[in-house]
Structure 1
Amino acid sequence: MTHPIPFARMNGLGNEILVADLRGTSARIAPDAARALAARPATRFDQIMAIHDPRTAGTAALVRIINADGSEAGACGNGTRCVVHALASETGIKDFVFETKAGLLEAHERPDGLVTVDMGPPGLDWRQIPLAEEFADTRAIELQIGPIDAPVLHSPSVASMGNPHAIFWVKNDVWSYALDRFGPILENHPIFPDRANISIARVTADDAMAIRTWERGVGLTRACGSAACAAAVSGARTRRTGRRVTVTVPGGDLLIDWRSSDDHVLMTGPAEWEWSGTLDPATGDFARDIEPQTGQHPEPHPAGAAP
């Protein structure tokens, strides 16, 4: 067994996040360990935010983002908010710059406890997303799914927010579509060489929309921050909304501001701590910390054993 590392179970609007602290070690979360943790009810997650020692001057940490299937993501807005909340509680620092696979992310915790993440500019060119073939206008591409649902979903907007996103615009309630059935088909469609996050979005006002997302490498999720950003950008690009919108996801509301001054997308929302423990980054074995209410000592949970 490798040396256990501390971690916290957190959530951002119900988006299940594990924040793992690997600072001071050379260890990495193994894909098998991630899959073992994701398979257990106690540690089921949408993303692991693995915090490593910084490797770039001026950054607080290198953050690797791991999906439930063990693959690596480029960005996770809800998870980044959780990292900020955890580090702000530990250090008292409120402003951070993180290095991620998608580039540098700036974030800060506000006095009201909400966290704002600068997700950077969206990628709107077909090569940036990426798509397998050229589309001059990514506000609507030729893609449809049916006859699983009526009406047929077609002509999604596509964008990158560190991850590829496709947004299908609908007029009916977003809950009236079988996203669990067509999400995995579209995630793996040949037009998306790196797979894609699939969202259905319904505009409810000039400054509001509701979305549901099938997340690449995860499945249905209560909140996907980068999807909310991609939907907000696409809403503005197609003149369905303005550049500042409230995006309602199944877990709650995110405020998205596509800033005209520099093209950056700012996402603001909450982050919540649930409990902490230690885990083996090689196997996924874990133990919970002593619960303050009960004083009970943690019990080890080998991967593959019932919690």
Structure 2
Amino acid sequence: MAIAAATSASTTTLPSSSASRAPSAPVRPSSFFSPSSASSPPQSRLLRARIPLRTPRLSISAAAAAASMSVRTPERSSPPSSFLDRRESGFLHFVKYHGLGNDFILVDNRDSSEPRVTPEQAAKLCDRNFGIGADGVIFAMPGINGTDYTMRIFNSDGSEPEMCGNGVRCFARFIAELENLSGKQRFTVHTGAGLIVPEIQDDGKVTVDMGEPILKASDVPTKLLPNKDHSVVKSELKVDGVTWNVTCVSMGNPHCVTFGAKGEQNLQVDELNLAEIGPNFEHHEMFPARTNTEFVQVFSPSHLKMRVWERGAGATLACGTGACAVVVAAVLEGRAGRSCTVDLPGGPLEIEWREKDNHVYMTGPAEVVFYGSVPI
């Protein structure tokens, strides 16, 4: 898939690209960030898209306009240190990743415990018309409390969630790239939701120990009254005149899971207008910290399909913590077993709620999209 840089934000006519990228073999460019790239001809290095954070307009230099407009992934023999060592003043260097289409701007922030951009700047970077375009900005920071790393994330609206399941898989792959690691790797990561442990598998997928689900209503949090062991399971919630059956789960961040409205046999998730009903769930008075909402269709006890309205990001192609919450809710409602394939708009995740340790494990991909830099 070729990634066209800034095709609509400039009046300059730019050449189209026929180059394509194999998503399974992304590698770090050496010439893009290395000091020697300044002397290279435009055709031999990637385009740098200059995306100002203070003005919502994209400017492209004449030299860059002459360059190829595809974001390429160069040979794996490139020196691994070239990207990491670049510390150009006034620029934010980043790598964009996605987990099943849930996309993030990853920033190397290991030299500081403060994010390199503000929430307001993050929101501008995430803008899909005037910025890079993403569901959030993730910072790889020094570990605390004995962990290897700390992960923080700003959503596309500038808010800061406790954690992000797809984001932590991208985070793990990013760390492996920063540290020039290969093969199976395991990290301990401090997040706003507590300790998270991702493990990169030999096939490149990432399995994440998401910890124990939080079911106590006041800890989710929700104001809905508990109806099963201090939990909210298949409880009624009225949203714009429609009564939905919902189960509330926290995976370090709040989730409201529904398998349909009251009296509905099997929800057809593709027929939902998420843009209309999603915000009404997110901002419902029963959720004091707002909520992520998952709408679920059951195919079998081991196969579920969901669509998600994410708190602070809206409708996204995938939500890892949401998929975990869905399986927990499905087990609690007696609709599924503890090991399920969960289909999301961006692709499937494998979720297991293990009985022996009560932890939820998520396995799925994380892929590089492109590398870039923006002035800040």
TM-score, normalized by the shorter chain, greater than 0.5:
yes
Distance 1:32 1:210, change over 3 A: same
The one of 171, 175, 186 equivalent to 1:95 is 186
Matched, 1:134 2:225: yes
Matched, 1:123 2:217: no
Q: Could you report, residue by residue, the CA deviation over 1:162-190 in whole angstroms, capped at 9, with x for unpaired residues? A: 11101110314211111110100110001
User: Match of 2:150, SS?
Assistant: strand
The residue type paired with residue 64 of structure 1 is: R
Gaps of 5+ in 2: 1-52, 54-88, 261-265
The one of 235, 243, 248 equivalent to 1:158 is 248
Q: C-alpha separation between the residues in 2 aligned to 1:60 and 1:8?
A: 20
Q: C-alpha separation between the residues in 2 aligned to 1:279 and 1:23?
A: 19
The one of 24, 38, 41 equivalent to 2:111 is 24
Would the aligned equivalents of 2:153 and 2:160 in 1 still touch at CA under 8 Å? yes
Distance 1:176 1:123, change over 3 A: same
Q: C-alpha separation between the residues in 2 aligned to 1:274 and 1:26?
A: 26
Aligned length: 276
| Superposed displacement of residue 55, structure 1 | 2.1
Q: What percentage of aligned pairs have identical amino acids?
A: 36
**Match for residue 354 of structure 2?**
259
The aligned runs of 1:186-265 (5 Å cut-off) are 186-265=281-360
Structure with larger Rg: 2
Q: C-alpha separation between the residues in 1 aligned to 2:239 and 2:284?
A: 10
Matched, 1:144 2:238: yes
The one of 158, 161, 168 equivalent to 2:258 is 168
Q: C-alpha separation between the residues in 2 aligned to 1:224 and 1:50?
A: 18
Runs of 4+ in 1 over 4 A off after TM superposition: none
The residue type paired with residue 97 of structure 1 is: T
Matched, 1:110 2:204: no
| Superposed displacement of residue 54, structure 1 | 1.5
Say which structure is richer in strand.
1
> Over the residues paired in the alignment, what is the CA RMSD in angstroms?
1.7
| Superposed displacement of residue 98, structure 1 | 0.3
The residue type paired with residue 145 of structure 1 is: V
| Superposed displacement of residue 246, structure 1 | 0.3
| Superposed displacement of residue 88, structure 1 | 1.7
The aligned runs of 1:30-41 (5 Å cut-off) are 30-41=118-129
**Match for residue 133 of structure 2?**
44
Gaps of 5+ in 1: 286-307
Q: C-alpha separation between the residues in 1 aligned to 2:374 and 2:330?
A: 41
Q: C-alpha separation between the residues in 1 aligned to 2:99 and 2:105?
A: 11
Q: C-alpha separation between the residues in 2 aligned to 1:8 and 1:271?
A: 12
Q: C-alpha separation between the residues in 2 aligned to 1:229 and 1:97?
A: 19
The residue type paired with residue 89 of structure 1 is: E
Q: C-alpha separation between the residues in 1 aligned to 2:161 and 2:338?
A: 26
Q: C-alpha separation between the residues in 2 aligned to 1:145 and 1:80?
A: 32
Q: Could you report, residue by residue, the CA deviation over 1:214-272 in whole angstroms, capped at 9, with x for unpaired residues? A: 00000000000011000010001111000000000000000000011111000000001
